[in-house]
Amino acid sequence: MIDVEKCRITHYPAEVLGKEALPVEKIDDNIRRLVEKMTEIMLKNKGVGLAGPQVGVPLRIFIISLDSSRECARVYINPTVTPAGELDAIDEGCLSVPGVRTKIRRYKKCTVTATDLDGNEFSEEGEGLHARVLQHEYDHINGLTIVNRMGSTARIAHRKQLKKLKENHKKDAK
């Protein structure tokens, strides 16, 4: 049972962001409430995607809304994302890595297969921003953030902010 009221954005280097998330076993009221809470958090922070580990829930679930609107928000439960096409490097940020925007290499296209809140399986093809956000969120449920995807030059360029996030994390742990 997830205490949805306690869900907050987790910041790098929180442990939950570095672990592979577990499959959602049953889509019940608790999961529906979680999705509602995740949607609220994503919209409030003007994000275009949010994954379970980013609110402290180690489950394979994410939501995306390319224009950061409630109308376009879509849920992906136990998704599989298969990239396709060529690679592209575009600036990306992440609500769990505040203060960092950096070029990340991702595939231009992908296919996602997932389950929706009614328990129905669906598939969709993504391209451009859609493909990028799907790959970004899929990374989150596999324990990866943009910090893992950054090249060494970007890591050096952002070392101060990464250090600050690590220090904040230590303070919060106390």
133 lies in the site for Ni ion, by CB under 5 A: no
Strand partners, 123: 113
| Subset of residues 15 to 34 that bind Ni ion, contact rule: CB under 5 A | none
Q: How many residues bind Ni ion (CB under 5 A)?
A: 1
Nearer to Ni ion, 27 or 97 (CB): 97
Active site residue 20: no
**Least distance (Å) between residue 98 CB and Ni ion:** 10
Residue closest to 130 by CA, chosen among 98, 95, 104, 106: 106
The active-site residue, picked from 20, 25, 71, 137, is 137
Residue nearer to Ni ion on the CB measure, 78 or 145: 145
Distance CA 51, CA 61 (A): 6
Range 44-73, binding Ni ion (CB under 5 A): none
Rounded distance between C-alpha atoms, residue 14 and residue 70, angstroms: 27
Tell the smallest beta-carbon distance from residue 14 to Ni ion (Å).
12
Question: How far, in Å, CA of 58 to CA of 65, rounded?
Answer: 21
Residues 127 and 167: beta-carbon distance below 8 Å: no
We find the least distance from the C-beta atom of residue 76 to Ni ion, in angstroms, to be: 14
Residues 82-101 that bind Ni ion (CB under 5 A): 94
- Partners of 161 in the β-ladder: none
Nearest to 56 by CA among 20, 21, 9: 9
Catalytic residue IDs: 137
Residue numbers of the site for Ni ion (CB under 5 A)? 94
